[in-house]
Structure 1
């Protein structure tokens, strides 16, 4: 009997030991540590929103992270939060995969997200953030490159690093002219404001894109965002390459920002079904609209090809728009797309051009999208349209 009681007590002790090891409710020690880290990050996020530096420092005092807290001072934030998505612990040290979500007040309808890699250490029974960096292949955030200066325009928010207030005011002025111009051409079914990021250099632009700088030499600006996103999509940012943009004249600068603003306006109607000749050609069409520039002035590379007897046999394909390819071929691709949209506007009217763009984007897949829109909106076929386009090139550029 006594032996059975001792065995029973031993069994009970084993059960209690297992309970201690896994924690209440079956949670492991690692689960508990991850929950603790999540709470630390929650406090860190609250400190960012409250501009509470002592509270921020209490979550981790690395020099880099404290500097970034200061760099954020002027950025108007409506939301800032972290979500731990992966956790790896080794004693009093740990790494965490996290998703940073934030919204710029007055501009982002839903959070912008960024993947982060965190390093942490445990001291005195508490976890502290040692480092907070972009995840592998993820893009940097502007405030990681230096103190952010913010300038509000009538239709724009310009945020820059290493830029003078005068220069940022010039960007805001150009963006403020671009927004109503785009609305007049496209319509008002978009946010009618833009966020422009101006890093210190080409390298800074590449960091914001999570890409190699060599791929963006000579590219004045790009627009980030999720093609075909819902109407609440927040992630559009016009990112300027100050090296290439700075050498443009006033007219060129206006065309570039109007082009990129068009991408913001058309984002929800731009899907996987939309070929680049249409999305880029339309953005250029709006950019040059009302400028009085002739086809020869806007499309010099294509003009040379036509004059030399090398009229393109077909509309440019997506691969022709690669930034790392031949510069002349890239220019011809943009010019060819612009001429296609200009043809539609000249022959069928500007309203039909907008209808055509939207009709293509309504398809979920590329297959059949352009063909159906050509038939339903313009009453033509791909073969007929291509011939019309080739004839138009020769008439305008030959």
Structure 2
């Protein structure tokens, strides 16, 4: 289980959040059923639909309703897969009419919006894995429900596809079931992704893709330039493998902030990174939290999370100071310590009686903004001290040992620094006190 680790929103733009979520559940169609369906589940493709479409349109039961239920489910599953294949091929070749052709008229408006968003994001892979056989809807002859995990890549054609699990609804027919709805992935821990529920425009660079709603279209060039510069910094903190093939950044207006990935962030949150697949983290920026100074430090912070975190994210708790401290360290981009904007907040926090425990720094969701800002500042200073004392590479090795290899901070300290952790911890705390 993972937890949110949000970033505060001060007068400046860089207090940020980490909301890392477990990788989504995926599973394929059992082999016995695949044989009945006559194809591999990994080759199937599907599209999802945001909430809000109309109820299932009425339709009479077809002749197949009189068939044996088990045989009918197998046959319907095979035809559903074929429909999804046709829709996926249409999406990838840019055929909007073909993409909508398998759907009932009542579902087409939402599906058209989704098609446009995915095309704007330059979808390059789209395939579906129906889970088991479709199930008949009780009391509604000819109606079916089919859970589907669909997998996709954006921009990069050979990425490790990210999964999203959704529920689909259909009206059966002899050989061409009609798609009635694709429900948004609100049952997943991350909540709906931006392209599931919003109209999007996007800009793509060599290292990043940035998307937002049409209301913020004019900000895309500046956001893309900032993201590309931040990616150069974040790439240096990919501690356990290559950096992401593309950093994905979504710029959220007020309503999108409350809906994308489930919303529910503390009021002082300016941004967060969320786990969406095996090793990928997407970044969301809160438009309402950013000032005219721009999102540069916020982008460096969040993209460093995307580069440095373990594939499944992390659970917060006692290593919060290390995760956020590294992101703050990257956000400052080697600026002198005395230029760190949060020093005054750290000073007040220390003076008010901080207990000197790094493991207890994580702020509560309802913490005051200055308390959250001070926690990030303490994490930054502790990580900065480790980098200054041992060099950046050994500091990163310590991070990797704790976050990626699952070692305790005591074990990692002995392994990487050759010293027991408690005296080194106290040294970090002393550094925090002397710098403020």
TM bucket by the smaller chain? 0.7 to 0.9
Out of 96, 99, 106, the residue aligned to residue 56 of structure 1 is: 99
Q: 1:195 and 2:248 equivalent?
A: yes
> Which structure is higher in helix share?
1
Which residue does 1:389 correspond to in 2? 428
Out of 135, 142, 145, the residue aligned to residue 95 of structure 1 is: 145
Provide the rounded CA distance (Å) in 2 between the counterparts of 1:333 and 1:114: 34
Out of 342, 346, 349, the residue aligned to residue 391 of structure 2 is: 349
Structure 1 pair 108–239 and aligned structure 2 pair: CA distance change class (3 A)? farther
Out of 102, 105, 120, the residue aligned to residue 74 of structure 1 is: 120
Q: 1:369 and 2:416 equivalent?
A: no
Q: For this pair of structures, how many residues does the alignment match?
A: 359
Conservation of the 8 A alpha-carbon contact between 2:275 and 2:312: no
Q: Deviations over 1:29-75 (max 9, x none)?
A: 22222222222222221221122222222201322223322343322
Bigger radius of gyration, 1 or 2?
A: 1
Conservation of the 8 A alpha-carbon contact between 1:142 and 1:161: no
CA offset at residue 296 of structure 1? Answer: 6.4
Out of 275, 282, 285, the residue aligned to residue 329 of structure 2 is: 285
Q: Deviations over 1:116-145 (max 9, x none)?
A: 121211356531111112134332232344
Conservation of the 8 A alpha-carbon contact between 1:146 and 1:162: no
CA offset at residue 278 of structure 1? Answer: 0.9
CA offset at residue 158 of structure 1? Answer: 1.1
Which residue does 2:268 correspond to in 1? 218
Conservation of the 8 A alpha-carbon contact between 1:151 and 1:158: yes
Q: CA RMSD in A?
A: 2.8
Q: Deviations over 1:247-304 (max 9, x none)?
A: 2623xx2111001111122134886598221111101011113233517632332210
Structure 1 pair 194–203 and aligned structure 2 pair: CA distance change class (3 A)? same
Out of 283, 292, 312, the residue aligned to residue 355 of structure 2 is: 312
Of residues 267-276 and 44-53 in structure 1, the stretch that sits farther from structure 2 once superposed is: 267-276
SS in 2 for 1:167: helix
Which residue does 2:78 correspond to in 1? 35
CA offset at residue 236 of structure 1? Answer: 2.2
Provide the rounded CA distance (Å) in 2 between the counterparts of 1:370 and 1:108: 36
Out of 274, 280, 283, the residue aligned to residue 238 of structure 1 is: 283
CA offset at residue 159 of structure 1? Answer: 1.6
Which residue does 1:260 correspond to in 2? 302
Structure 1 pair 265–258 and aligned structure 2 pair: CA distance change class (3 A)? same
Which residue does 1:17 correspond to in 2? none
Provide the rounded CA distance (Å) in 1 between the counterparts of 2:384 and 2:348: 19
Question: Normalization by structure 1: what TM-score?
Answer: 0.81
Structure 1 pair 352–226 and aligned structure 2 pair: CA distance change class (3 A)? farther
Structure 1 pair 222–165 and aligned structure 2 pair: CA distance change class (3 A)? same
Provide the rounded CA distance (Å) in 2 between the counterparts of 1:270 and 1:70: 29
State the structure with bigger RCO (CA 8 A, min sep 6), 1 or 2: 2
Conservation of the 8 A alpha-carbon contact between 1:270 and 1:279: no
Q: After superposition, where does 1:1-150 map in structure 2 within 5 Å? A: 22=68, 28-60=71-103, 61=105, 62=107, 63-85=109-131, 87-90=134-137, 91-106=141-156, 109-123=159-173, 126-138=176-188, 139-150=191-202
Question: Normalization by structure 2: what TM-score?
Answer: 0.74
Gaps of 5+ in 1: 1-19
Gaps of 5+ in 2: 1-65
Provide the rounded CA distance (Å) in 2 between the counterparts of 1:289 and 1:180: 11
Conservation of the 8 A alpha-carbon contact between 1:295 and 1:396: no
Out of 221, 235, 241, the residue aligned to residue 183 of structure 1 is: 235
Conservation of the 8 A alpha-carbon contact between 1:316 and 1:336: no
Structure 1 pair 177–192 and aligned structure 2 pair: CA distance change class (3 A)? farther
Structure 1 pair 313–241 and aligned structure 2 pair: CA distance change class (3 A)? same
CA offset at residue 317 of structure 1? Answer: 3.4
SS in 1 for 2:341: helix
Q: Deviations over 1:148-185 (max 9, x none)?
A: 21212242211221244430111111111112223356
Conservation of the 8 A alpha-carbon contact between 1:179 and 1:192: no
Which residue does 1:173 correspond to in 2? 225
SS in 2 for 1:168: helix
